[in-house]
Structure 1
Amino acid sequence: MSKFINSKTWSGGIGTGEEIANIGPSLGYSRRQSDKPVKVKRKSGVVSYYSDRGYGFISSGEDRVFFHIADCESFDTAEVPIGLRVSYVLTEGRGGKPAAADVQAA
């Protein structure tokens, strides 16, 4: 047999109506994702190195950005030729270093 403890629920006091009215309008709305698609800025570069282990680097000006073959879904082959012009989305990789995602032939 379980015993329930009777407790009183606080229902406010004198003067709480105004304070709740000030914060009340925001209580009825929940955050939701925007209906507008997010436009992602793509960068471009040239594949400067590719390893048979499935990773490589894209040169874009003075920067070299890491990429993995898993981020190259649009390629028909598992090997990415050096010198290929590509476009990509810049993201943050392991250790906070820049990495390329959604790599596509340009």
Structure 2
Amino acid sequence: MGAAEEATVRKEDIRTAIQDVRPGLQKCYAPLAEHGAGDQRVVVRFTLVGQGTQGSFQDADIIESTLNDPLFLSCLLTELSQARFRAPWGTGAVTITYPFVFQSLARDGG
């Protein structure tokens, strides 16, 4: 009797899913950028559970953020929940920790 294969996910699959929702993530950040928030970093941890060929986004938490804006953080998590992830391979769930960097819309060209 073989051991169950631990669930895994390819980094490229995660990046692709997040790239697809990037416009929504930028919309979340745009009001803050317009008010001079500058460059910001947010780290999100979430779980992917396989449901057929799709990965179900669950248990998301902000584990680090240079911004303490509840509306922005809520918007960020809502947009991420819309991402279409591939199901992890193997059995069980995969915990992902993903950093996001948001940059100001306006740059001083000098």
**TM-score w.r.t. structure 2 length?**
0.26
The structure that is helix-richer by fraction is 2
Please tell me whether Structure 1 or Structure 2 has the larger radius of gyration of its CA atoms.
1
Q: Which has the higher contact order (CA 8 A, sep 6+)?
A: 2
